[in-house]
């Protein structure tokens, strides 16, 4: 069951790229990612429904930079503060990480922050520390026909390369059935060779954009988006957030007009 699904790989750096994966690989990843997590995915039927809905070419594009990104102030998620329905924690609890916050509102405030989040003044204004097993839910429509989802973008960053990976499963539910979450794809992008951007040699800011290259529509009737930071299957192992928690700057979504 091959398709043209493309997923981003974590080991290459500094340039946009994708590689081809089979639907079977993606399905296995999703199954292993969720195999021990009955809270979200109850049955194989839901997986198959999700796969069927995304067989037509979900594309993940990635890039990284030493500099800041410009983020949207008018996207679908702007101003929507997500709830954490998972068991993981926001914030680091580490005295050395004052630049990181536990406030999820920074994800949708339309502000990127400093290229090196350690230089934000005042501190803890830009970068949400997201731990393993956090699940962030955004409600974008409660009534009506729901949203025809065009794109989702995530930005990750840290003061060095140690926690700048975008790594999560993206799911959605519909206005009609808000409690059934359907996987769209798995994101796993870590540029790897970064250092403190002030040292100038590598990026610590990363961006991932998820689109659909056949119909232009990722999903229809969407009421909620879910970013699930539980472990994902990579090869034969399950991989969590980079070094236990990673920094996220902004999440965006757009609709088909
Ligand atoms: Ca925004
Ligand atoms: Ca922000
Ligand atoms: Ca990294």
Output the pLDDT for position 212: 97
Output the pLDDT for position 151: 98
Cis-peptide into 122, omega within 30 deg: yes
Give the pLDDT confidence of 157-198 residue by residue, as tens digits.
988 888 999 999 999 999 999 999 999 999 999 886 554 444
- How far, in Å, from the CA of 146 to the mean position of ligand 3? 36
Judge whether residue 38 has pLDDT over 70. Answer: no
- How far, in Å, from the CA of 137 to the mean position of ligand 1? 15
Reference 13, options 161, 130, 127; nearest CA is 161
128 membership: H or E segment, kind and range: strand 127-131
| Protein residues placing their CB within 5 Å of the ion ligand 1 | 72, 75, 78, 110
Strand partners, 188: 167
Output the pLDDT for position 232: 96
Q: Which residue has the higher pLDDT, 91 or 29?
A: 91
Task: Specify the range with the lowest mean pLDDT, choosing from 113-117, 152-156, 182-186, 201-205.
Answer: 201-205
Judge whether residue 6 has pLDDT over 70. Answer: no
Confidence of residue 28 (pLDDT cuts 50, 70, 90): very low
User: Distance between CA 125 and CA 162 in Å, rounded?
Assistant: 19
Reference 56, options 19, 17, 4; nearest CA is 4
- How far, in Å, from the CA of 116 to the mean position of ligand 3? 14
Give the closest ligand to the alpha carbon of residue 72: 1
Judge whether residue 219 has pLDDT over 90. Answer: yes
Q: Which fold has domain 6-255?
A: Jelly Rolls (2.60.120)
For the chain, the domains span 6-255
- What are residue 173's phi and psi, to 5 degrees? -130, 165
Give the pLDDT confidence of 108-131 residue by residue, as tens digits.
999 999 998 888 888 888 999 999
189 membership: H or E segment, kind and range: strand 182-189
Task: Taking residues 65-76, report their average pLDDT.
Answer: 95
The full DSSP string for 45-113 is HHHHHHHHHHTTTEEEEEEEESS-----SSSTTTTPPPEE-SSS-BS---TT-TTEES-GGGGGSS---
- How far, in Å, from the CA of 160 to the mean position of ligand 3? 8
Task: Taking residues 28-54, report their average pLDDT.
Answer: 40
Q: What is the mean pLDDT of the chain?
A: 80
């Amino acid at each position: 069951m091959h398709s043209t699904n493309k997923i981003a790989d974590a080991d290459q750096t500094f340039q946009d790229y994708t590689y081809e994966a089979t639907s079977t690989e993606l399905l296995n990843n999703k199954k292993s990612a969720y195999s021990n997590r009955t809270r979200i995915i109850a049955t194989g039927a839901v997986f198959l429904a999700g796969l069927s809905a995304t067989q037509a070419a979900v594309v993940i594009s990635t890039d990284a930079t030493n500099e800041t990104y410009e983020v949207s102030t008018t996207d679908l998620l702007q101003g929507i503060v997500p709830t954490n329905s998972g068991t993981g924690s926001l914030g680091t609890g580490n005295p050395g990480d004052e630049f990181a916050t536990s406030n999820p509102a920074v994800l949708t405030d339309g502000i990127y922050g400093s290229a090196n989040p350690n230089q934000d003044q005042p501190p803890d204004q830009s970068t949400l520390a997201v731990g393993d097993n956090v699940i962030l839910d955004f409600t974008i429509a409660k009534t009506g026909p729901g949203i025809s989802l065009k794109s989702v973008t995530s930005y990750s960053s840290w003061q060095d390369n140690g926690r700048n990976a975008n790594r999560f499963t993206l799911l959605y539910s519909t206005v009609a059935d808000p409690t059934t979450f359907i996987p769209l794809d798995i994101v796993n992008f870590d540029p790897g060779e970064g250092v403190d951007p002030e040292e100038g040699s590598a990026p610590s800011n990363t961006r991932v954009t998820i689109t659909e290259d056949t119909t232009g529509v990722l999903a229809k009737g969407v009421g909620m988006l879910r970013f699930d930071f539980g472990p994902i299957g990579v090869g034969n192992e399950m991989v969590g957030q980079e070094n236990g928690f990673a920094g996220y700057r902004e999440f965006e979504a757009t609709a088909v007009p």
